Amino acid sequence: MKKIVCLVLALLCVSVMAVAESTPSKTTADLTLIQTSAANLPEGASFTLAPVTTARAADLPDYEERVAACEAEIAKLAQSASVAEYFGTVTDSEGNEINLTEILGADALNVYEFLPLVVDGYDPAYGNVTATMEFSTPYEEGEQVVVLVGLVTVAEDGTEAMAWTALPGLGTSNGGIEVEFTPEIMVQIQEGTAMMTVVSAN
């Protein structure tokens, strides 16, 4: 059982119920803090990688649509027989299909974070982005997790679906996780409707 810690964080625009294939030992986060650094960020330059919060509503004309899209996916996950079934085909950052249960070494997977995500002001020349994320759900130092970035895709008939890309994440000493985003993923988030989840075996 992981000890719950209190963090002063930014309130997310959606409240997410824990979805797990076994009784969770962690509580679901509706709070998050993201700190970033880029490999080649020029002096004086800046960009934003952040959850969609009520504070950003005025800056996002499609704020309600982003929140609704995320809530719809949370509902689908809750109705799925398993976490793996919900995500279906998942690829890594190079486009190779991967198996979540094999990566995490567990048949039962847990999802504790599920939130809309935006990027603003990013230039591919900035290179890879390392993000340290803290949630009200604490993760163990060294704990292996998978951070999934989902992009809403629209077929010719207007049907919407999710395309999920997996990024390896690792628990930090302060109870958060660290993950590296490629320039390609950053641009996709910036130009599309995106959301992020954290999948773990604990």
User: Over its length of 202 residues, how does the chain's per-residue pLDDT go in tens digits?
Assistant: 332 222 223 333 333 333 444 333 333 345 578 999 999 999 999 999 988 877 666 777 888 888 888 889 999 999 999 999 999 999 999 999 999 999 999 989 999 889 899 999 999 999 999 999 998 888 999 999 999 999 998 888 888 889 999 999 999 999 999 999 999 999 999 999 999 999 999 7
In a domain? residue 96: yes
In a domain? residue 1: no
β 90-92/160-171 pair status? parallel
Total structural domains within the chain = 1
In a domain? residue 2: no
Stretch (H or E) spanning 104: helix 100-104
Name the CA radius of gyration of the chain, rounded: 16
Residues 17, 112: Cα–Cα separation, whole Å: 8
In a domain? residue 4: no
In a domain? residue 3: no
Domain that holds residue 110: 10-200
- The pTM assigned to this predicted structure is 0.83
**Residue 132 structure tokens:** 């340290």
Closest CA to 147 of 124, 115, 173: 115
In a domain? residue 20: yes
| First-last CA distance in the chain | 9
